[in-house]
Structure 1
Amino acid sequence: MSEVGNSPRWLAVSALSKIKNGAYSNLQLNQLINQHTMDRRDINLLTNIVYGVIQHRLTLEYWLKPFVRHPHQLDPWVNELLLTALYQWQYLDKIPQRAVFNETIEIAKVKGHPGIRRFVTGVLHEMDRQGLPKFDAITDPDERLSVTYSMPIWLIDELRDQLGADKMQRIIASLNQPAKQSLRVNTAVSDVEDVTAALTNEDLTVDFSEISPIGLIVSDGQAVTTDAMKYGMFTVQDESAQLVVPALNPQPGDRVLDACAAPGGKTTQIAAALDADAGGEVVALDIHSNKVKLIGENAARMHVADRVAATELDARKVGTEFGDGHFDRILVDAPCSGLGLIRRKPEIRYEKQLSDSLNLQRIQLAILTAVAPTLKKGGIMTYSTCTILKQENQDVIAQFLADQPEFELIKTPTEMNLKADRDSDTLSIYPDDYLSDGFFIACLRKK
């Protein structure tokens, strides 16, 4: 294969074609990075192009449309190639347009036949001559927002109905900003000062989180390749996700159920607060054996395996294995639409529909209802999701409380007193609040 066949731009086209066919962006990227020898700059460019095209797909397709008469006749990879050229030209200001166009034409030449090369060359030159269509040519305001921010219209409508027009626009604008590289310090073996020192010694730039006292933000360098990561001094976890376990507030001798645990990020955070000698244990469930194995591996890397019982079980069948009142605390980090994670998993926006949230609502309620009897009287059950729609959040809690009068909602605590003036007892973190993932946390006490 020619040198162009190993370039970040070529690999980006290959990744995007597979992602369009249903592959996961993060897994696809990891696979390519592992298979090819690239320096940090090339890895960054590849990652930037892949995530950038996915993020801005509706915008890029709007710009491309006037220049491609028969889009359905295009080979999928040619379409992705043109989108990568548009993305670099419009969004990456450090790369000259000439360089972008030249390499795009070179890829078309090597990957396709002479007709494809001529077609790609013609489209690029035509775009350059005519200029790209303007957003203000779109008369429908919702469609204009959808194209500008590359968000589906149904999500724009739903967020506006639930949160108002201003908040909706702030959220969708924030979701196209890059995700932070955030870490959670493993308090079972280390502390914030030691981890900061270890990472700084490896030439990483580290800042404290403004929402989690054990969170760190790395803005330069890759934390996952460090010795501190290998030794289990920290794990990669979004700042919002770090708030869930402190809200549950497990005590050293507690028996805790983590009902939907894989891959085990919150399980290991619970375990760090427990003491095996005092009888503290977290039972971590998942329905897939490979994911149960992953929980066990994470617990071992984070030095808390003595307090973690990773178990293959559907959370809706907890009653078959554990009696009433068995657990002091229960975490239901429920399966959800993941719409709070769009910054990290940009393809989610195109894959989900409102019907998904309504279907998930039934599963979320079923899990809460199934695990509720296994919580002892006076015990705390924390419900969390990484979505921002009330159908999976406030509506689920309201329905659960209506069905289960022995439970009461208590105010979700945070160690840094976040949103102290909020009206609700539940806590909603939106993606624009702290530029972290969107999250919902509710705490329920059994009377």
Structure 2
Amino acid sequence: MTKYALRESALDLLTRIGEQGGFSHVLLDREISKQKLSRQDGALLTEIVYGTLQRRDLIDYSIQPYIAKQKKIKPWVRWLLYMSVYQMVFLERVPDHAIIHEAVEISKKRGHKGISSFMNGVLRNVQRKGVQSLDKIEDPVERMAIETSHPQWLVNRWVDQYGMETTKEMCEANNQHLPMSLRVQPLRISREEAMKQLQEDGYRVEESALSPQGFLVLEGAILSHSLFQEGYVTVQDQSSMLVAEMMDLERGLSVLDACSAPGGKTTHIAEKMEDEGEVVAYDLHEKKAKLVSKKAEQLQLTSITASQADSRKLGEKHTPGTFDRILLDAPCSGLGVLRGKPDIKYHKKEEDIFSLRKIQDDLLREVAPLLKPGGKIVYSTCTVDRHENEEAVKHFLKENPDFEVDPAFFKELPEALQESQGLTEIGLQLFPQDWDTDGFFLTRLYKK
């Protein structure tokens, strides 16, 4: 692919994600496959798209002095400016003159002379005079929000909940590349064996401290490797692997996974039980439930039954006291996964947190009766907001005195997490800066 066509692809993706709310990771994977990009081109396209999205607000602030206040700019022109400035400021491989030349050529092709001279003018100013300094911003929270490109309402919430230092670390971590992490299918291959094969094929890998099945791929495109293609390993973030590790599983149990798609945690549960017992998985959407079945098939697991249902109505399908274990990986704001899905931070609003919390409360209340006495529920989310995490669990415990936080949960956490800053009496909050993972919350509740 010519570098010129690659920049056009990046612009198309950014405009779709930024304006129409497409999911960055999905559209990017699709584009790399469709264009059959080489490893190098795929990496550059990913870098431009993710980098521009991650730094959008900072770039916008940086170029304000060079744009007339009243000027109305078409969305594609704005995104072309953003991605060009991102490359000029944050990437060293491509010289500025080449970036400016390509941006001007794309402007000519897609617009008219006026647009290409505007593009040329703004980018030449950035090249000559540099970008606007953040020093004029006196309010430290506002400055942090712009410097790390996070909406100010979100930074305010995090500062209230965790203080300035943790918030700054979290915002900075969200703009770092998230390494790919994998889980082995242990009934087919050991972690040592999988890592050895990949190392022999030139990949750089290291063990995860959070799951004995997990490891990180620091270098190398895994999706084209036979281990992935043939279902010996699957992609899953380390924080998400912690869920099945903390469910206190053994062979032969009956387990409910109430919100199961795309199936990473569901299949991990089946693996932990050596594919003996039953894992009953539901998702609100038929299409997503099918993804879970497909994932189970890929990994050659037969103990999983996945189907469509609203888990707030599972009392109509199952009698009380049916399951030994329940996983409620609740729908949430997703504010812990901004490293891999940077577009989320621009699309979410503060009120989303409160409307999602209502769904979380309903789900907990409705699935709890399906647990046997002596059984355990793991509640998890991929967010870092206390309202959806600790406060949701406290609310549930207050309404359900026959449940308590399982004291054994804390003793069974991996050694690496025993001193974690995110441990409270309610559960564990992982921050993205902690273990090169997503931000994630989990706890385990015991039915007396």
TM-score of the pair, normalised by structure 2: 0.95
Which deviates the most, 90-99 or 360-369? 90-99
C-alpha distance in 1, partners of 2:118/2:217?
Answer: 43
Bigger shift: residues 45-54 or 203-212: 203-212
Where 2:279 maps in the other structure, the secondary structure is strand
Partner of 1:299: helix, strand, or coil? helix
Moved more, 409-418 or 392-401: 409-418
* Cα drift, residue 218 of structure 1: 0.6
Counterpart Cα distance in 1 of 2:106 and 2:349: 35
Structure 1 letter corresponding to 2:359: I
Give the equivalent residue in structure 2 for 1:353: 349
Alpha-carbon distance between aligned partners in 1 of 2:263 and 2:36, rounded to the nearest angstrom: 31
Amino acid at match of 1:156: V
1:423: how far off?
4.5
Please name the residue that 2:435 is paired with: 434
Q: Give the alignment of 1:5-404 within 5 angstroms.
A: 6=5, 8-20=6-18, 21-70=20-69, 73-275=72-274, 280-304=277-301, 306-404=302-400
Looking at structure 1, the residues matched to 447 and 211 of structure 2 have their Cα atoms a distance apart, in angstroms, of 27
CA contact (8 A) 1:29 1:47 kept: yes
Alpha carbons 1:410, 1:425 under 8 Å: kept? no
- In the TM superposition, residue 196 of structure 1 has moved relative to its aligned partner by 0.7
Deviations 1:250-298 (A, max 9, x none): 210100000000010000000112255x5x0000001111111111000
Task: Render the CA deviation track for 1:90-109: whole Å, top value 9, x for unaligned.
Answer: 10022221221122222222
Report the AA paired with residue 370 of structure 2: T
In the alignment, is the contact (CA less than 8 A) between 1:282 and 1:309 conserved in 2? yes
The one-letter amino acid paired with 2:383 is T
State whether residues 211 and 245 of structure 2, in contact with CA within 8 Å, keep that contact through their aligned partners in structure 1.
no
Q: In structure 2, how many angstroms separate the alpha carbons of the residues matched to 1:440 and 1:310?
A: 24
| CA pair 19-71 structure 1, distance change in 2 beyond 3 A | farther
- State the one-letter code of the partner of 1:285: Y
**C-alpha separation in 2, matches of 1:349 and 1:423:** 26
CA positional deviation for 1:159 = 0.9
Give 3-state SS (helix, strand or coil) of 2:415's partner: coil
Contact 2:187–2:274 (8 Å) recurs in 1: no
- Distance, in Å, in 1 between the alignment partners of 2:36 and 2:71 is 35
CA contact (8 A) 1:383 1:442 kept: yes
Q: Is the 8 A contact 1:285 1:292 kept in 2?
A: yes
Deviation at 1:188, TM superposition (A): 2.5
Aligned to 1:417: 415
| Deviation by residue 1:54-107 (Cα, 9 ceiling, x = unmatched) | 100000000121111156522211111111110001100222212211222222
* Identical positions, percent: 38
Which region of structure 1 is more displaced relative to structure 2, 63-72 or 127-136?
A: 63-72
Q: Which runs of 4+ in 1 moved over 3 A?
A: 2-5
Work out the CA distance in 2 between the residues paired with 1:340 and 1:188: 31
CA contact (8 A) 1:380 1:446 kept: yes
Question: Residue 4 of structure 1 contacts residue 106 of structure 1 at CA under 8 Å; is this kept in 2?
Answer: no
Give the deviation of 1:4 after TM superposition: 6.6
| SS of corresponding position for 1:332 | strand
How many residues are aligned here?
A: 442
What TM-score, normalized by structure 1, do the two folds share? Answer: 0.95
Unaligned runs of at least 5 residues, structure 2: none
Could you say if the C-alpha distance between residues 275 and 91 of structure 1 is closer, same or farther in structure 2, counting changes exceeding 3 Å?
closer
Whole-Å separation in 2 of the counterparts to 1:37 and 1:230: 16
C-alpha separation between the residues in 2 aligned to 1:335 and 1:146? 26
- Cα deviation 1:180-226 (Å, max 9, x = unaligned): 11111112322111111222233211111132222111111111111
1:219 is paired with a residue whose SS is strand
Distance 1:175 1:337 in 2: 15
Provide the rounded CA distance (Å) in 1 between the counterparts of 2:116 and 2:9: 18
Pick closer, same or farther for the CA change 1:330–1:18 going to 2, 3 Å. Answer: same
3-state SS of the aligned residue for 1:218? strand
Distance 1:377 1:350 in 2: 43
Q: CA deviation at 1:38?
A: 2.6
Residue 35 of structure 1: how far off its partner (Å):
2.7
Shift of 1:399: 0.4
| CA–CA distance in structure 2, aligned partners of residues 426 and 41 of structure 1 | 41
| Structure 1 contact 287–314 (Cα < 8 Å) conserved | yes
After superposition, the Cα gap between the structure-2 partners of 1:237 and 1:72, relative to the gap in structure 1 and judged at 3 Å, is: farther
**In structure 2, what residue type is equivalent to 1:311?**
S
Alpha-carbon contact 1:212-1:415 (below 8 Å) kept: no
The CA RMSD measured in Å over matched residues stands at: 1.6
Deviation digits for residues 144-163 of structure 1, max 9, x if unmatched? 11111111111111111111
1:111 shift after superposition:
2.3
- Give the deviation of 1:425 after TM superposition: 4.4
List runs of 5+ in structure 1 lacking aligned partners. Answer: none
Q: Is contact 2:243–2:442 with CA below 8 Å preserved after alignment?
A: yes
The separation in 2 between residues aligned to 1:273 and 1:146, in whole angstroms, is 41
Contact 2:390 2:426 in 1 (8 A): no
